């Protein structure tokens, strides 16, 4: 039963795992759910004053981060090192 529940959860709310370089240079692994920015939506993207001055209004995105108790966190596109979709049968805590 738990196996089927896990598959349905991964189908309904796709999850992505990626390696991200933090501000201090360390790398961390993050698991996010259904990031609309990775699907092309501009609703959850962001920019800052410096990037807007250069004409770039899309330097990162916000997403719910599962390994941060579901809190929303911002990520810069250029700091993502490796991105994989979590498989249907994988269990993510």
pLDDT in tens, 26-50: 999 999 887 776 666 777 788 888 8
Q: How much is the pLDDT for 21?
A: 94
Does residue 77 belong to any structural domain of this protein?
Answer: yes
Q: How much is the pLDDT for 48?
A: 84
Residue numbers of the domain that contains 59: 2-85
Give me the residues of the chain with pLDDT under 70, please: 37-40, 93
Does residue 91 belong to any structural domain of this protein?
Answer: no
Could you give the number of structural domains in the chain? 1
Does residue 17 belong to any structural domain of this protein?
Answer: yes
Contact 84, 18 (CB under 8 A): yes
Token output for 92: 């993510």
Report CA-CA distances (Å) from 13 to 6, 38, 71, 87. 10, 14, 16, 12
Does residue 58 belong to any structural domain of this protein?
Answer: yes
Report CA-CA distances (Å) from 5 to 13, 37, 68, 88. 12, 26, 22, 10
Q: How much is the pLDDT for 9?
A: 76
Does residue 15 belong to any structural domain of this protein?
Answer: yes
Does residue 54 belong to any structural domain of this protein?
Answer: yes
Q: How much is the pLDDT for 8?
A: 80
Q: How much is the pLDDT for 20?
A: 94
Task: Look up the CATH number of the domain holding residue 9.
Answer: 2.30.30
Does residue 7 belong to any structural domain of this protein?
Answer: yes
Does residue 93 belong to any structural domain of this protein?
Answer: no
């Amino acid at each position: 039963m738990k196996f089927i529940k896990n598959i349905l959860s991964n189908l309904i709310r796709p999850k992505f795992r990626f390696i991200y370089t933090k501000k201090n240079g360390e790398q961390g692994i993050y698991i996010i759910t259904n990031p609309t920015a990775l699907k092309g939506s501009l609703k959850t993207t962001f920019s800052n004053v410096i990037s807007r001055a250069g004409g770039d209004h899309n330097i990162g995105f916000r997403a719910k981060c599962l390994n941060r108790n579901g809190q929303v966190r911002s990520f810069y596109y250029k700091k993502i090192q490796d991105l994989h979709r979590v498989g249907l049968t994988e269990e993510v805590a």
